[in-house]
Amino acid sequence: MSNDRSLTVYAPASSGNVSVGFDALGLALSPIDGSLLGDCVSISAAGVEGRPDDWMLCLDGPFEHALPPDQEQNIVITSCRRFEQAARSRGVDVQPLNVTLDKRLPVGSGLGSSASSIVATLVALNHYFGRPLDRPALLQLMAEMEGSISGEVHLDNIAPCLLGGLRLCMPGSAHQYALPWPGHWQAVVAWPGTRLDTRAAREVLPEGYDRSRVVAHGAQFALFVHALHQGEVSTAANCLKDLLAEPYRKTLLPGFEAARVELKKMGALATGISGSGPTIFCLVDDSGVAEAAAAWLRENYIQNNTGFVHICRADLAGAREIAPRKN
């Protein structure tokens, strides 16, 4: 049953792959300065003319300009309509609402921008209408929405965005598992201010890989998961190498190799591409190294005044209801 209250849900940014786990690992991110790095969706029934006859979308935020002006082309409205169908199939009467998307993540950044919008929307609707969808159903619906954009169904952004932390996601299903994340690790993430389409980033990947590379990848991935569970953080950090995507995608990221070299000199444990890019991240275990890395990236990797650098920890809460934001 719906009501006349309003609510706002925040869904954090996420880094897919985390180098070693192509399409299977994802980490939710939370800036240590307390800022919101993720989209917010607010919903309400009351409007100027009362309850709307159809879903009404209002766009706000620093990156609203990158979204299609036609609301029917926006993934938020698509998600609303799919939620309505799913909830009504479970006997819940869903009435259209006013929806505001505060677009705080850049599109095509490699930070789970579409996943953040989808998760924030569907969590807000599920809360508002009394949680008609359980977690597996919600995850499956979110994965379908994400797949309609990226071209493939996978949870490596959806699961950490929804549930928080580091998530191991099984391809082609809604099964996911929480992995331990060392509390002293920080990720310095740098978005250069440019866009890289996910589909384009997938097109540079080969159709297949030779056996030795697949074996090496599988062994490294397995050792990473084992080391995390055993608390062997140095071993886990040494496993953060991408043998499948990065060798091909780095050609799309000017300055990535130079950044890797310099950040390693500073003491970074690992450097990699966040999702499909162009955002990159470096993993550190020292706050001084984090500050130095952030300063270097601001000076050398950011390409325009819209780019940004954040020092982040793992966001362990995932999507959550927050107080309405005042602009």
Same domain, 192 and 166: no
116-159 pLDDT, tens digit per residue, is 999 999 999 999 999 999 999 999 999 999 888 776 778 999 99
Q: Is the dihedral of CA 151, 153, 155, 161 positive or negative?
A: positive
Same domain, 217 and 274: yes
Give the pLDDT of residue 196.
84
Same domain, 52 and 174: yes
Asked, for residue 327, whether it belongs to a domain, the answer is no
Same domain, 176 and 191: no
Structural domain that includes position 55: 7-180+315-322
Q: What is the CATH number of the domain that holds 272?
A: 3.30.70.890
More confident residue, 175 or 264: 264
Are the CB atoms for 122 and 84 separated by under 8 Å?
no
As a whole number, the mean pLDDT across the chain is 92
Peptide bond into 171 cis (omega under 30): no
237: phi then psi, degrees, rounded to nearest 5:
-60, -40
Same domain, 225 and 308: yes
Strands (E), the chain: 7-12, 14-16, 25-31, 38-44, 56-60, 98-102, 166-169, 176-179, 186-191, 270-273, 280-284, 308-314, 320-322
pTM of the model: 0.93
Same domain, 129 and 257: no
Give the pLDDT of residue 324.
78
Asked, for residue 90, whether it belongs to a domain, the answer is yes
Number of domains in the chain: 2
| 70-74, 221-225, 310-314: least confidently modelled range | 70-74
Q: Pull the structure tokens for residue 28.
A: 């939710």
Three-state secondary structure call for residue 297: helix
Same domain, 145 and 216: no
CB-based contacts of 135: which residues, under 8 Å, 6+ apart? Answer: none
Same domain, 28 and 138: yes
Are the CB atoms for 155 and 167 separated by under 8 Å?
yes
Q: What is the CATH number of the domain that holds 103?
A: 3.30.230.10
Same domain, 122 and 198: no
Same domain, 203 and 298: yes
Same domain, 143 and 221: no
The yes-or-no verdict on residue 2 having pLDDT over 50 is: no
More confident residue, 2 or 43: 43
The yes-or-no verdict on residue 46 having pLDDT over 70 is: no
